[in-house]
């Protein structure tokens, strides 16, 4: 069983999953972007926006960060695009929860017992996080996703039956409450979870469902999607740089310096829509399409592996993140005359090529390791399923779960 977000999100045709290679490729690209985000952020490669001086070389990681921050929204947009046409299945929910639980416990304990784990205490809270990964937010994305999936019987049915006008109003309301307000107001809102919760992904799901049912003119032109993604990503960096200047001059707006990089910011939402639109127009056939469709169902394993608490703050240094950091002046005089007030760790001007090489190596190796690990997990899980299949109690349990699935199959009214 290799069921994960990818396989859960597939449209069904005659009871068999139908994959769209272009969107499966986007799923893989989005996961690679997630690796980049975790390499930069947890590898301490992003200069502090509050620093009086950020040197040109130090803006390169931030530029890469801004182009990759769409990853989570893209991943959820793909899932919503397919989930809105799928029936809720308790069996899928159980398999997904078991997959998360297996990664949480196995790799969490491996990281702790081998001494690899860094920046995490081996205490009661850690054990509870391993045993109850969804409730304890071991993987915040999976907590939000599974909660959203539990609501699928309600939101999926509604999304399939609403009129175009109704869905337009619903999408606009959700975006206004959970996206637009926080994107334009220079304050922190108490209800703003920065896009790390189920409510934001309900908004993304609804938008994706609207696109699936009614489409938008943007989807008709690949170039338009690329332009939207590129412009919005650059504006994300520009907004952060602008807010930084205001903070350095006035001391104000410290709490929202990185607001444009938060998942529920309007720029990141639009960038995700643009990237989705661009990939939707790609034609991928032949061997490349078959290869992408073969590995895409295992992309969730990439996330569950490298973001496990046992490895979360460790693997970045395996790919040289700590070696990229050197001492740079903490500040400089406005007239350009050196008047350093100490030093800090940052990316040196001559290390940009090495930085790109190390980042690429991290993405390739972590992605490959995650795919292979999840393939192994799927193989072992299938073997365990066959072995347990000889037990009458196990067969009855599977029959009971399949019976639950039948309750949620949409049937024509009598």
**pLDDT tens-digit map of 127-155:** 999 999 999 999 999 999 999 999 999 99
DSSP code of residue 122: -
Q: Contact, 71 vs 33, CB < 8 A?
A: yes
Say if 27 falls within a structural domain. yes
Say if 414 falls within a structural domain. no
Q: Which has more confidence, 328 or 241?
A: 241
Give the total number of structural domains in the chain. Answer: 1
Say if 250 falls within a structural domain. yes
The whole-model pTM stands at 0.91
Say if 412 falls within a structural domain. no
Mean pLDDT of the chain: 89
Q: Is the pLDDT of residue 212 over 70?
A: yes
Say if 413 falls within a structural domain. no
Q: Contact, 188 vs 256, CB < 8 A?
A: yes
Say if 114 falls within a structural domain. yes
**CA–CA distance, 276 with 224 (Å, rounded to integer):** 11
Q: Identify the CA nearest to 43 among candidates 328, 314, 344, 343.
A: 314
Q: Contact, 267 vs 232, CB < 8 A?
A: yes
**CA–CA distance, 329 with 339 (Å, rounded to integer):** 9
Q: Is the pLDDT of residue 348 over 90?
A: no
* Residue 332, domain extent: 5-407
- For residue range 256-282, list pLDDT tens digits in order: 999 999 999 999 999 999 999 999 988
Q: Is the pLDDT of residue 30 over 90?
A: yes
For 308, residues 6+ apart whose C-beta sits below 8 A from its C-beta are 103, 104, 107, 108, 111, 138
Task: Give Cα 382 distance to the centre of its chain.
Answer: 27
Say if 273 falls within a structural domain. yes
């Amino acid at each position: 069983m290799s069921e994960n977000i990818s396989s859960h999100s597939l449209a069904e045709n005659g009871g068999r999953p139908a994959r769209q290679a272009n969107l499966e490729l986007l799923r893989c690209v989005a996961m690679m972007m997630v690796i980049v985000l975790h390499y930069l952020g947890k590898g301490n490669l992003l200069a502090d926006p509050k620093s009086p001086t950020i040197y040109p070389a130090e803006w390169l990681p931030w530029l890469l960060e801004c182009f990759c921050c769409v990853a989570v929204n893209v991943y959820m947009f793909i899932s919503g695009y397919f989930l809105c046409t799928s029936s809720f299945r308790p069996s899928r929910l159980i398999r997904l929860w078991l997959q998360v639980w297996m990664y949480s416990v196995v790799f969490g304990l491996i990281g702790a017992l081998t001494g690899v784990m860094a920046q995490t205490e081996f205490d009661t809270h850690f054990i509870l996080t391993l045993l109850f990964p969804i409730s304890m937010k071991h993987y915040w994305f999976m907590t939000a996703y599974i909660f959203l999936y539990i609501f699928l019987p309600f939101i999926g049915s509604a999304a399939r039956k609403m009129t175009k006008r109704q869905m337009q109003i619903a999408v606009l309301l959700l975006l206004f409450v959970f996206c637009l307000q926080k994107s334009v107001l220079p304050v922190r809102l108490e209800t703003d979870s920065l896009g790390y919760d189920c409510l934001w992904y309900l908004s993304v799901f609804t938008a994706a469902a609207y696109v699936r049912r009614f489409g938008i003119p943007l989807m008709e032109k690949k170039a338009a999607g690329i332009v939207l993604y590129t412009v919005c990503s650059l504006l994300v960096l520009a907004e952060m740089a602008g807010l930084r200047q205001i903070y350095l001059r006035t001391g104000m707006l410290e709490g929202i310096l990185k607001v444009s990089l938060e998942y529920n910011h309007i720029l990141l939402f639009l960038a995700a829509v643009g990237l989705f639109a661009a990939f939707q127009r790609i034609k991928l056939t032949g061997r490349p399409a078959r290869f992408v469709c073969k590995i895409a169902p295992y992309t969730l394993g990439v996330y569950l592996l490298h973001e496990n608490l046992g490895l979360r703050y460790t693997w970045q240094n395996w790919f040289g993140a700590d070696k990229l950091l050197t001492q740079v002046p903490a500040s400089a005089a406005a007239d350009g005359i050196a008047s350093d007030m100490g030093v800090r760790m940052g990316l040196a001007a001559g290390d940009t090529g090495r930085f790109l090489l190390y980042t690429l190596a991290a993405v390739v190796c972590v992605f490959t390791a995650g795919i292979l690990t999840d393939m192994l997990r799927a193989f072992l899980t299938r073997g365990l399923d066959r072995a347990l299949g000889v037990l009458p109690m196990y067969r009855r349990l599977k029959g009971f779960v399949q019976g639950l699935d039948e309750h949620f199959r949409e049937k024509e009214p009598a």
